[in-house]
Amino acid sequence: MELGVTGSILLAIFVILVVYFFTWKEKLRSRNLPPGPPTLPLLGTVLHVSTTEMPQSLTKLSEKYGPVLTIYIGNEPMVVLVGYECVKEALVDRGDVFSARGNTFFAKAILKDYGIVLSNGERWQQLRRFSLTTLRNFGMGKRGIAERIQEEAHFLVEEFKKKEGNLFDPTDSLRLAVSNVICSIVFGERFDYEDENFTNLLFLLKEIINTIASKWGILLNLFPRASLYIPGSHHKIFTNFKKVREFIMESVEHHRKTLDKNCPRDFIDSFLIKMEEEKDKPDTEFNSENLFASIKDLFNAGIETTGSTLKSALLILLKHSDVAKKMQEEIDNVVGQSRAPSMEDRMNMPYTDAVIHEIQRFADIVPMGLPHSASKDTVFRGYNIPKDTTIFPLLYSVLKDPKYFKNPEKFDPGHFLDEHGRFKNNEAFLPFSTGKRNCLGESLAQMEIFLFITTMLQKLNIKTNRTSEEIEITPEPGKNGVIVRSYQMYVEPR
């Protein structure tokens, strides 16, 4: 009798699950979302999407399901845009709908939607407008900041020369150099490469990025609640983030005590002055939380992507020493050795310009792009996209689009040169994304990448003890394409 009751209960549960499954599948079909791989209740499409090589796996799925496809994280749909034309149509032509920032665990749990990059609506508009104006006031995109980058490039070359003839990993020195550029704008000062507090801050930021790029970071974003109860390295994000906050807020407090409202020294001073001006507005966006989050956003934009691009650049040039030599010949002819390279030189250096563009394309530092979301119910390419659906513009698929780059998986400066050896732009060159949400510091990053690379090649020969065949320039495997491989090099003064 007892067995019969148990069997009846199990049968009832089975019937309920079957009914739920088919009802759920019918509901999915009726929504007319873009197609995608088979999905299961609660699990979503996790069995069909790699959590360690996600950009490649999504691009592969698009070969079957088209340039607009849907994956499911649990029961939540996420729409992936693949290829230049699809991404451009959404972010530029339909920018009014797809310029909202998508929800992520990092935005909700860590920054609580404060700051520039992960916020939306009026907050995002006010902070972005203020930040762009302030950065320009302090020289971004102008001669003043170019001179600051030239100065830092000189310090970097001298740091490399200290290691002359010895193998070393350039990662930390590169990150210190680009960090000092953004520090001069945000904090009003540069830090010595041996400064313990500064190097510790950069180490913490690096650990956060590495963890987010790992499978633990992906799982934390995909299954935020469950991940909090699972042991793993992703918990270090919280402790490291707390230490980063302490460093930044300590500097903010020092600025507050030494502030001269008539003579702002940097971004922090400018924000504090704006806070004072709007202190009586109950709904002001200029508060301590947005100040901290905005500084963190500027650091991420000004350090991680540019530092990783430079690290990738040296690795690529070590493998392609013939390319480095040809760049040096052009630098010698246009600039010489008596002065530092300048942004004005760029138009007279088509080969160097093409190589730097190709480095950025091939390095592909942010392959997934930052998540967007639909600001309202809409129809895109015949499919329904409900309001608040997360949208991933897959930049990997843009920078590797075979319609626009004849050898997308190979490093080839010819992608940016015409038949006469003149520089040729390519509309699919979108390493900083596009539309209203493109990278805030794009002009600064472009200046840094050009001036750092040309200054290093002007003053140094970069070498390694490995053969060209032994050097692998693709990203570190299992890190979703965002971590440049580690390597060692040595330099010889020219």
Look up residue 155 and give its amino acid: F
Do the domain assignments include residue 6?
A: no
Is 309 within 8 Å of 365 (Cβ atoms)?
yes
What's the chain's average pLDDT?
88
The residue assigned the tokens 């843009």 is: 398
Do the domain assignments include residue 470?
A: yes
What percent of the chain has a predicted confidence (pLDDT) above 70? 87
Give yes or no for residue 112 having a pLDDT over 80. Answer: no
Give yes or no for residue 451 having a pLDDT over 50. Answer: yes
Query: Quick one: pLDDT at residue 228?
Result: 66
Which tokens belong to 455?
A: 């200054």
Residue 216's domain is classified under what CATH number? 1.10.630.10
Do the domain assignments include residue 391?
A: no
φ, ψ of residue 340 to 5 degrees: the values are: -80, 150
Give yes or no for residue 238 having a pLDDT over 60. Answer: yes
Do the domain assignments include residue 200?
A: yes
Do the domain assignments include residue 440?
A: yes
Which tokens belong to 85?
A: 């034309």
Domain count, the chain: 1
The average pLDDT across 45-74 equals 91
The average pLDDT across 474-478 equals 89
User: How many residues does the structure list for the chain?
Assistant: 494
Do the domain assignments include residue 218?
A: yes
Do the domain assignments include residue 77?
A: no
Is 255 within 8 Å of 267 (Cβ atoms)?
no
User: Where is pLDDT greater, at 73 or 219?
Assistant: 73
> What are the contacts of 284-292 at 24+ separation with CB within 8 A?
285/122, 285/123, 285/126, 285/127, 286/126, 286/130, 288/249, 288/252, 289/112, 289/114, 290/114, 290/115, 290/123, 290/127, 291/252, 292/114, 292/115, 292/245, 292/248, 292/249, 292/252
Whole-number CA gyration radius for the chain: 25
DSSP H/E element including 101: strand 100-101
d(CA 111, CA 118): 8
∠ Cα 139 262 247 (to 5°): 65
**Distances, alpha carbon 302 to alpha carbons 59, 186, 295, 298, in Å:** 28, 10, 10, 6
d(CA 212, CA 105): 11
Instruction: Report the predicted TM-score, pTM, of the whole model to 2 decimal places.
Output: 0.88
DSSP secondary structure string for all residues of 129-151: HHHHHHHHHTTTTSHHHHHHHHH
Least confident of 3-7, 191-195, 467-471: 3-7
Q: 434 is in which domain, residue-wise?
A: 113-364+400-493
Do the domain assignments include residue 330?
A: yes
φ, ψ of residue 462 to 5 degrees: the values are: -100, 135
